[in-house]
Structure 1
């Protein structure tokens, strides 16, 4: 009898993704093989249009592959329905998008607490967890400022605090430094490293910024929907 294949923390197996365009099917992902390990910072590098965001969406259960498999903690996300995927996203996965996705009328503190409320975290835990997350990203002195009172880098740090507030096991970040200058981008990566160490989670982010690649534990290069040698 053949032994079952070991499943990593997050594993993508021969994933393909196609989208309809008129009478044609456009294949965006073409047989992706990838693993992400807990406690590491993984980067997907590549030009715009290489398929990075589509792959990240599959890994986070925001979309399903046309073919192939996506396993998260020994569970087949590619087979799950919308209700199951919603539960795992709320409890175990955090997301950071290119836009900061902060509510402009709420302070940094209130934005983070809103994510705790939506995740169903008991109210008794809100204050301590909010303080810890904002301190971790270096915003202790700015936690009661609204987004428009914060710099771009500070807003992104609020987004990170918000994304990790419910203690996810996996954080997925789509071009989180795209709107920042090189100094602030490097600072955000430093924050990511601190989060990995302090929270013991896995972070997988997309980027086309060559200056950031050296900070990653693992780098995958994407070209035209495929993983190629870095």
Structure 2
């Protein structure tokens, strides 16, 4: 079991994000201050439009702040080039989306392998790591099935295994339980807790499901582009 640590993996410092549309400026994030600790499950909760997904995109280097700092392992990634950010995303960050983002013609095993290939992991490590990740999500008996042969919950579990295969420091999940029933949603969160303990990584996810908040180490309430409670 990985040792729990409270050291911050990710810090967002006075971050603002604005967009221009129809000649008007829309302020999506307004002075966000937050951190995500290694070995902890952090949740962002709030209504649609509160800025959760925009914040997650900034944390993952998929977008840049209009002002403020985005720090990942004490590195100011908001100042990095697109090329450097691409390498970081492939090697140090895992992503999970509402849509499972699996390759439809590949088996569960092959989908997880793809993550290792993209991260440049040596092929000699693939077999053991893929087996380990699919074991963590409880899919050892479904490794040869393609996405269309799996239930929604099983597809999401493959997506989780794929997201952690390259041993990221940070896992970002945008509404990962939105398409699942309450039972399967609880099961996915239990898997996240197992991953936090077994892998020692930081997980930050967005959700509007109040039944899941109790499983988090930290919950940030967002409203109108601000953190209103922790």
1:27: which partner in 2? 27
Give the equivalent residue in structure 1 for 2:120. Answer: 120
Q: How many residues align?
A: 224
CA deviation profile, 1:173-212 (whole Å, cap 9, x unmatched):
0000000000000000000000011111000000000000
What per-residue deviation string (whole Å, max 9, x for no partner) do you get for residues 16-59 of structure 1? 00111021111100100001000000000011111000000000
1:224 matched residue in structure 2:
224
Shift of 1:98: 1.0
Q: Deviations over 1:57-89 (max 9, x none)?
A: 000111110000000101001111101111111
Q: Deviations over 1:156-182 (max 9, x none)?
A: 000000000000010000000000000
Q: Distance in 1 between matches of 2:156 and 2:81?
A: 31
Q: Distance in 2 between matches of 1:191 and 1:9?
A: 20
1:104 is matched with 104
Distance 2:18 2:81 in 1: 19
Q: Secondary structure at the match of 1:141?
A: coil
Q: Displacement, 1:140? A: 0.3
Aligned to 1:10: 10
* SS class of match (2:115): helix
Q: CA deviation at 1:8?
A: 3.2
Match of residue 133 from structure 2? 133
Corresponding residue SS for 1:167? coil
Counterpart of 1:213 in 2: which secondary structure? Answer: helix
Task: Structure 1: state its 5+ residue gaps.
Answer: 1-6
Inter-partner Cα distance in structure 1 for 2:122 and 2:223? 44
SS at match of 2:124: helix
Secondary structure at the aligned position of 2:20 is classed as: strand
Partner of 1:171: 171
Which secondary structure does the structure 2 equivalent of 1:98 belong to?
coil
Q: Distance in 1 between matches of 2:13 and 2:54?
A: 15
Q: Is 2:9–2:169's contact at 8 Å kept on the other side of the alignment?
A: no
Question: 2:19, 2:141 → 1: CA distance?
Answer: 46
| Unmatched tracts of structure 2, length 5 or more | 1-6
Q: Counterpart of 1:4? A: none
Q: TM-score, normalised by structure 1?
A: 0.96
For the residue of structure 2 that corresponds to 1:153, the secondary structure is helix
Q: Following the alignment from structure 2 to structure 1, what is the Cα–Cα distance between the partners of residues 9 and 151?
A: 35
Distance 1:45 1:72 in 2: 21
Q: Report the aligned-residue RMSD.
A: 0.9
